[in-house]
Chain A
């Protein structure tokens, strides 16, 4: 069963997978035990002679106590054990200091990703400025924001770095799901939620939307690429360069040039 899990590449994913297999083996043992007893009863106590009476017995309080206390101890242990890992994944107080901070904004049916510009600072955003052409509501008056790089459905990170994703949505609820990172977090409009992870293996990994967001829900696919530090640096520099070129081109062109609309759903 657990061999069907996609490869884990995140630091806390080991804890998740370990807990997963622990619960799997515990529940498997309970399942086999209960059903073995059950099948034995079904075969053994099947009526053989019409006149036979069953054993007249109303129950046993010691047994009741035992099968109340034992499951209680087991489930209390599981809750306690789970909570440690849960804190590490989701409590903001337990998240490590981030090496990279990016913002992700869900929109039907795509993920917008905002990287800070070469200044390393994400510019000020204003919810009132959010529009189809400006999904993050980047304030044009803030110079920190003018160099921010915004991509669609593509995320790149260096391996072995703590990444903090600030997650929100501009329209309906989406859910940011990266199976290989063992991370899932709903993106809720009007609310920013922090998600952190640390990927340990280079490669391309799929991002999916896990919360029904409309008829194109299944198309909300992104790709997260983990690279070595030098490759990542080269990639991000190239993006800055491209962005700068595009901006220069735009200013060079005549004023009525219309902005490219990012609203059409992008097919992978």
Chain B
């Protein structure tokens, strides 16, 4: 392994076989390299999806005004002669922004990157159960991303039916929509392969002594997420296949009889389909997908908060049961996306009750995080800052969800910017801050280099402030009634007073977007000039910190035996304020006895007892 890494000890051991460049960096089966591949690919997509968002924001703040600097460089199928985005391109942008951010950024980063990197290391395995499937699972993702992006260069442009792709709009669409369907299908396949691998690995490859209730929350969260993926994604695949057939051979799964589309000079006489069927199938996957995008983040944040509070995670088992409850309830609340869809309003009542109930385990988690910090010794490193922000932002995202859960209030705020504000508090304020926390927390282990705390903190603060400046006012726009996905709010008299707020949001969004270059700078700076990372730079307990930084192919250089849970921080039995899962109890006792002995002989008690 690591033919190109300077620290490799390739001569020392026969096991350290030299792999080719292609096997090491491109078609690698090493879970850590695959995690890095997910990271790099998804970060590229983060910037693409972010750029789309900024185009959208520009148009909303300054409708019909040319995009500065680059407006004139864009093709005339995207912009008008003034360099302003045209409506057709606007709908493509909003569709692809949502699709890319969800399927090519958040899920790959949380499940692909963190899942891949953490599972084997945290349970003490040398790799995934199926390394080759893992490799295939990764390689489907850039292929799918490229197929979806290719839509921008085909006749009629890319998909323009929103990331939710509601038929009939998506069933009578152009080639770009088909590419979107195919891309999503492949990315779903990639998820399923990943999920199977995670479940198998966690069930079978835990180190001796690593019982289920000694697993860190990140592993628990990814484990349950993988189960949701296995349950939900095939349903999405089925729905996508039907939509594909509707587009190609007019099978009418989702289109009723006598669909007349004057705009396209189309009259479909064959029918029998139901537009609502798609919504049920789509949300049966995509609502659990919201939890696919938040549960691993909750796991990461639990680990980071405990480590930097130097305290055991408050209510470890309650946290696990809360995740289980969320994942179960998450599967039966999909109808809350459809309160105004024409679905039987009695179902609205049912789904409202389930949705209100799912707020309970979310509240439990929040209180337990607060409990974890209570009487802790908080170290505000970059990962801790991001994790702290996660909790606070998740509270806002969770509370704004109550408004939508209440069916009568949803009548008004459904499909308004209130929803846009809510989803971004959950997916950016929640998932993305958790990703930043996880990335900066495990970065030393991934690369063997420390990251600059200065750059990390700059990135955090600028992101945190401009994030709130961008997304909080969207709730107010929603209360004002501004609809989602409209190209020009000034068409409506009742929305005209909100234009200054739209400008304010756009300015903040620009800062938010460009602030992400600080993160890139921090990562590059760390790789080139970062201090070498020790094995356990954060003085944490879980198994990944037993491995060298970065871990070689095969991960651990000594056999592991697990004796306790991952959160034994500040234990009175231990001399130090952390207690690794692998330290044998007799060693802990001996260290303590020696420590007390030293104190006695020294007579004057030393305050610094760590070594």
**Does residue B480 face the partner (Cβ distance < 8 Å to A)?**
yes
Interface string of B464-483 (1 = CB under 8 A from A): 00000000000110011101
Could you say which of A50, A82, A217, A263 contacts B262, with CB atoms under 8 Å apart?
A263
B376 and A179 form a contact (CB under 8 A): no
* B227 touches A (CB below 8 Å): no
A215 and B380 within 8 A (CB): no
Question: What residues on B are CB-neighbors of A188 within 8 Å?
Answer: 275-276, 341-342
| A64/B415 contact (C-beta < 8 A), A108-B263, A218-B487 known | no
Q: Which residue of B lies closest to A41 (CB)?
A: B373
Q: Is B595 an interface residue (CB 8 A)?
A: no
Asked whether, in the complex, the Cβ of A179 is within 8 Å of the Cβ of B570, the reply is: no
Interface residue ranges of A183-204 to B (CB < 8 Å): 183-191, 193
B258, B345, B412, B415: residue with the most chain A Cβ atoms closer than 10 Å: B412
How far, in Å, is B409 (CB) from chain A's closest CB?
5
Knowing A82-B406, A173-B169, the reply to whether A54 touches B256 (Cβ < 8 A) is: no
Chain B residues with CB under 8 Å of A78's CB are 356, 402, 405-406
- Asked if B16 CB lies within 8 Å of chain A CBs, one says no
Most buried by B among A60, A75, A76, A87: A75
Asked if B235 lies at the interface with its beta carbon under 8 angstroms from chain A, I say no
Chain A neighbourhood of B609, CB < 8 A: 51
Q: For B90, what are the chain A residues with a Cβ–Cβ distance below 8 Å?
A: 215
What 1/0 flags go to B485-510 for Cβ under 8 Å of A?
A: 11111011110000000000000000
Please state if A215 and B87 are interface contacts (CB–CB under 8 Å): yes
Contacts of B263 in A (CB 8 A): 108, 171, 214, 263
Q: A5-B480, A45-B309, A89-B411 are in contact. Are A57 and B375 (CB under 8 A)?
A: yes
Cβ B412 vs Cβ A16 within 8 A: yes
Count of chain A residues with Cβ under 8 Å from any Cβ of B? 99
Alpha-carbon gap, A27 to B317, bound state (A): 27
Contact string against B for A residues 30-53, beta-carbon threshold 8 Å, 1 for contact and 0 otherwise = 110011011001100111011111
In the bound complex, do residue A171 and residue B168 qualify as a contact, i.e. CB atoms below 8 Å apart?
yes
Asked if A210 and B262 sit within 8 Å, CB to CB, the answer is no
Interfacial chain B residues near A72, Cβ < 8 Å: 357, 360
A82 contacts across to B, CB distance below 8 A: 352, 406-409
A42/B388 contact (C-beta < 8 A), A67-B367, A173-B168 known? yes
**Is B360 a contact of A212 with CB atoms below 8 Å?**
no
B271 in contact (CB, < 8 A): yes
A107 in contact (CB, < 8 A): yes
Which residues in B have their C-beta under 8 angstroms from that of A186?
340-342
A38 / chain B contacts, CB cutoff of 8 Å: 370, 373, 391-392
Q: Which of B338-354 contact A (CB under 8 A)?
A: 340-342, 345-346, 348-349, 352-353
Say whether A244 faces chain B, with CB atoms less than 8 Å apart. Answer: no
B288 contacts A by Cβ under 8 Å: no
Chain B positions within 8 Å of A113 at CB level: none
Kindly state the separation between the CA atoms of A31 and B401 in the bound complex, as whole angstroms: 13
B residues less than 8 Å from A2 (CB atoms)? 479
Give the distance to chain A from B474, nearest Cβ to Cβ, in Å. Answer: 12
Assuming the contacts A78-B402, A89-B408, A170-B260, asked whether A212 and B377 have C-beta atoms less than 8 A apart, the reply is: no
Restricting to B160-212, which residues have a CB under 8 Å from any CB of A?
160-162, 166-169, 172
Assess whether B258 is in contact with A210, with CB atoms less than 8 Å apart. Answer: no
Would you call A57 and B168 a contact (CB within 8 A)? no
Binds B, one of A124-132, A230-238, A252-260: A124-132
Known: A51-B607, A89-B411. A59 touches B168 (CB 8 A): no
Is B396 among interface residues, defined by CB-CB distance under 8 A? yes
CB proximity of A118 to chain B, nearest CB, Å: 28
Closest-by-CB residue of B relative to A131 is: B260
Chain B residues in 8 Å Cβ range of A228: none
Contact with B along A79-96 (1 / 0, CB 8 A): 100110111011100000
Number of interface residues of B (CB under 8 A): 112
| B316 in contact (CB, < 8 A) | yes
* A31 B399 Cβ-Cβ under 8 A: yes
Given contacts A34-B366, A78-B406, A212-B161, are A58 and B316 in contact (CB under 8 A)?
Answer: yes
**B356 touching A79 by the CB < 8 A rule?**
yes
Contact A173 B275 (CB under 8 A): yes
B311 at the interface (CB under 8 A from A): yes
Cβ-defined partner of A68 (8 Å) among B360, B399, B480: B360
Picked from B162, B406, B488, the residue with its CB within 8 Å of the CB of A218 is B488
Partner of A171, one of B262, B356, B408, B491: B262
Q: Nearest residue in A to B399 (C-beta to C-beta)?
A: A27
Q: Say yes or no: B415 contacts A177, CB within 8 Å.
A: yes
- The contact of A212 among B91, B255, B364, by CB within 8 Å, is B91
From A19, A42, A131, A216, contact of B378 by CB (8 A): A42
**Docked complex: B382-405 residues within 8 A CB-CB of A:** 388, 391-392, 395-396, 399-400, 402-403, 405
* B23 on the A face (CB < 8 A): no
In the complex, which residues of chain A have a beta carbon less than 8 angstroms from the beta carbon of B87? 215-216, 218
Q: Give the chain A neighbours of B88 by CB distance below 8 A.
A: 215
Please tell me if the beta carbons of B275 and A189 are within 8 angstroms of each other in the complex: yes
Residues of chain B contacted by A193 (CB below 8 angstroms): 342
Whether the pair B356, A189 counts as a contact (CB closer than 8 A) is no
Does B399 contact A86, Cβ atoms closer than 8 Å? no
Taking a contact as CB atoms under 8 Å apart, the answer to whether A83 and B484 are in contact is: no
Chain B residues with Cβ below 8 Å from A130 are: 258, 260
A131→B258 CA distance, assembly (Å): 9
Contact indicator B160/A45 (Cβ below 8 Å): no
* A67:B363 contact, CB within 8 angstroms: yes
The answer on a CB contact under 8 Å between B572 and A190 is: no
A30–B484 alpha-carbon span in the complex (Å): 28
Interface: A152 (CB within 8 A): no
Is A209 interfacial (CB 8 A cutoff)? yes
Interface presence of B577 (CB below 8 A): yes
Residue among A72, A89, A212 with most chain B CB within 10 A: A212
User: Are A57 and B314 touching (Cβ within 8 A)?
Assistant: yes
Q: Is A114's CB within 8 Å of the partner chain B?
A: no
B327 shortest CB reach to chain A, Å: 17
B260, A173: Cβ atoms closer than 8 Å? no
Question: Within 8 Å CB of B160, what residues of A?
Answer: 214-215
Given A16, A67, A127, A268, which contacts B258 in the complex, CB threshold below 8 Å? Answer: A127
Are A214's CB and B348's CB within 8 A? no
Residues 246-281 of B at the A interface (beta carbon under 8 Å): 255-263, 267, 269, 271, 273-276
Interfacial chain A residues near B356, Cβ < 8 Å: 75-76, 78-79
What residues on B are CB-neighbors of A177 within 8 Å? 415, 481, 483
Listed by A's residue number, 10 A-B pairs whose Cβ atoms lie within 8 Å are: A34-B366, A53-B310, A54-B311, A59-B317, A59-B371, A76-B353, A79-B353, A108-B261, A190-B256, A209-B483
Q: Which 9 A/B pairs are nearest by Cβ-Cβ distance?
A: A190-B256, A59-B315, A55-B375, A90-B345, A179-B481, A132-B262, A218-B486, A75-B356, A215-B87
4 further contact pairs, Cβ within 8 A, besides A57-B312, A72-B357, A188-B341: A50-B608, A64-B364, A76-B353, A188-B276
Q: Interface residues, chain B, CB within 8 Å of chain A?
A: 86-88, 90-91, 94, 160-162, 166-169, 172, 255-263, 267, 269, 271, 273-276, 309-312, 314-318, 340-342, 345-346, 348-349, 352-353, 356-357, 359-360, 363-364, 366-368, 370-371, 373-380, 388, 391-392, 395-396, 399-400, 402-403, 405-409, 411-412, 414-416, 475-476, 479-481, 483-489, 491-494, 567, 569-572, 577, 607-610
